Every structure is written in structure tokens, then in C-alpha cells.
Amino acid sequence: MMEALQITLLVLVAAGATAVVLIRAGIRQVLMLSIYGVLLAVLFLAFQAPDVTLSELVVGAVALPIILLLTLAKVRKREQ
Amino acid sequence: MTPRQRRWIFLVAGAGLVAFYLWGLSGLPGFGNYPGPYGFAILRVAVAQTNATGVVSAINFEYRGFDTVGEEFILFVAAAGVATVLRRLRGERERPAVDEAAGRGVPPTSSAVRMVALLFTGPVVLAGWWLASHAQTNPSGGFQGGILLATAFILIYLSGEFLVFKRLSPADLTDVVEAVGAGGFVVIGLSAIAMGLPYLKNFLPLGQVPGAVSSSGTIALISFFVGIEVAAAFILIVAELLDQTLLIRRGG
């Protein structure tokens, strides 16, 4: 049961990482990166590492996307 | 260099990388087999030695506390670097935070965003404090709690305005709080030296019950200071980026 869950999550994480690379449009890519962060956090939980889960959630799903979104907003403003 | 040559160089380099990668994979221990002695040793002694049931925090803030000081100052220096790089340059100027077209206000925030942000602000503050102050009892810690606390300020920005965000987290105050957080960690370490103990030695009473909030001595205290430092550093970084996006324009 646990193994099936772990394998499913590993496949999902691989698919998520591929999607982050393949999506090229700025904001959509950032949103996908955030979803990928959540997937990775759930994966860590399934591998019994709750501390790493919390770190991955706050960094991968929250902090990094916020910084990227603000940077995109700045770059876009300059292009206009 | 022609594209053809470039492709050959890539193929040779790529093949080399794959070969080394497979070679490295073949030498890994089997899935779930941990070969080292330290993990088992620390699992046996950690709770008895520190009274902290959050063993990961006990390792982070006690057994390898010195490494964590260094890591904390990486974030400290990063925030200082962002503030330096994003300062207002000559030839740039600040404008009031309204849309650039004259006579047009900022498009109003949708009430859906406002509602969600308002709903989440309270719980996020609670979760952040809880994580930052419970490192000794369960999986949590100052780092995770600190980022969550900073997120509460970003929710306030989303639900209100830039000016409210600035009023709630003035740059001077954030600077001071960040310095207190980073300095607090170092001062705890130095206090141990002042008592004739090694640097960062746990000098506070460990408490009676393992896993109680009041247990684990300096582990809980250090986690708390780390939480303050991380929250302030992240607010500072986000505020600098918001300044760049909303206020600072190129040209005189």
C-alpha cells in the first residue's frame, strides 16, 4: 500500500518537474512550480520526513513563487 | 563553431555525463538501507540528552547548532544583498504607488482575493507562531514558522494596499527585528561561553517532561530567534521587490 503510494507520488513529481520545464509562459510556469512544490512536499511526507515536508512547503510552494511573481511583475512593467 | 560541431561536443559531453551518473547510481546503497552509524546513535540518545521529542530540531539547534548559525547568516547576508542590489539608483526615482497612466487609479482588488486573504491571515499567523515555538515537541521549527509569519504580511498586502503593508512592516523596524533574531542565536552561544561552557552548549534547564513546550532548554529558544530572523528577512526581501515593482521607475 505504502509502496504504491510512494511510486505514484514519484511519477507525479517527475511529471510535475517536466511540466515546469515545458511550460514557457511566465506566470503559468510559476504556478506550475508552486504545484510542483506541493507535490514534492507530499512525496517527502510519504517517505516519512515531515520536517522536510514543512521546509519544502514554505520554500517551494510559497517563498520561491512569491519572489518569482514579483520579479515577473517588475520585468513586465519595464517592457511596457 | 558550426552547429554540427556543437552538436558533436554536446553528444560527447552528454554521453560522459550519463556514464558517470550510471556509475554513481550503481554504487548507492539499496532503497531504504541507511549504512551510517550516526543516525542510529543519535536516535538512541537524543531524547534522553535534550528532552526534545522533535529530534530533527534537536539536531539542527543543538548537535549541529554551529552549522545552523552559518546557515542563518546565509539568509541574513542574502537579505542584505537584495537590499543593496535593489536600492534606488541614480537615474531612478520613486513615484507614488498608482498606475502609471495619469488620472487612472490602481485597479481595485477583487473582493474574492480580499476575502481569501483576510480569512487566511489569522490562521497563518497562528500556524507560524505555533511552528516557530514548537520545534522541541514535533516536526516544525523556526525556519518554517518564520516564512509562514512573513506570508501573513503578504496576505495583508493582498487584502489591502501597499501602504497598509508598509505601515505594518516599516523597513527600519524589520531591519532591527532581523538583527535581533540573528544576533539572539549568536548571543545564546556566547552566553554558554560566558558560563565557561563550549559555544552553543545547552545551558538552560531541560525541563522534566520530554516533549513539553517548556522542555529542551536552548533548543526552543534558538528556534524562536530563528523564526523571528527568517520572518523579518523574508518580509524585507519581499518589501524590496514590491518597492521595485510598484514605486521605482527608470528615468528622471
Tens of pLDDT, residues A8-26: 999 999 999 999 999 988 8
Per the document, the length of chain A is: 80
User: Which domain does A60 fall in, by range?
Assistant: 2-79
Residue-range domain boundaries for chain B: 36-100+107-250
Rounded CA separation B87/B92 (Å)? 10
Q: What are phi and psi of B92, to 5 degrees?
A: -110, 155
**3-class secondary structure, B119:** helix
Residue-wise burial string across A13-39, b where 16 or more C-beta atoms lie within 10 A, e elsewhere: beebeeebeeeeeeeebbebbbbbbeb
Give CA–CA dist B96/B106, Å, rounded. Answer: 11
Contact B142, B227 (CB under 8 A): yes
The Cα diameter of chain A in Å comes to 53
Distance, CA of A5 to CA of A47 (rounded, Å): 10
Q: Which of B100, B245, B250 sits opposite A70 (nearest CB)?
A: B245
ipTM exceeding cut-off 0.90 for this assembly: no
Q: Is-contact B50 B223, C-beta < 8 A?
A: no
Question: Does B56 sit within 8 Å of A66, measured CB to CB?
Answer: no
Q: How far apart are CA B141 and CA B57, in angstroms?
A: 7
**Residue A55 to chain B, least CA–CA distance (Å):** 6
In this predicted structure, what is the pLDDT of residue A35? 95
Domain count, chain A: 1
Residue A48 has pLDDT above 80, yes or no: yes
- Cβ contacts below 8 Å, chain A against chain B, sum to 46
pLDDT at A33 over 90: yes
Residues 6+ apart with CB under 8 A from B134: B54, B140, B213
Sign of CA dihedral B177, B182, B188, B193: negative
pLDDT of residue B232: 92
Strand partners, B93: B249
Which DSSP state fits B98?
S
pLDDT (tens, 9 = 90+) of chain B, 252 residues, equals: 888 999 999 999 999 999 999 999 999 988 888 888 988 999 899 888 888 888 999 999 989 989 999 999 999 999 999 888 888 777 777 766 554 455 555 667 788 888 888 899 999 999 999 999 898 888 888 899 999 999 998 888 888 767 777 777 788 888 899 999 999 999 999 999 999 888 888 888 888 888 788 888 888 899 999 999 999 999 999 888 888 877 776 654
**B144 vs A54, A67, A71: nearest CB:** A54
Chain A, residues 16-75, CB within 8 A of chain B, namely 50-51, 53-55, 57-59, 62-63, 66-67, 70-71, 73-74
Nearest one of B133, B153, B127, B122 to B225, comparing CA atoms: B133
| pLDDT at res. B252 | 43
Q: Do B139 and A70 touch (CB under 8 A)?
A: no
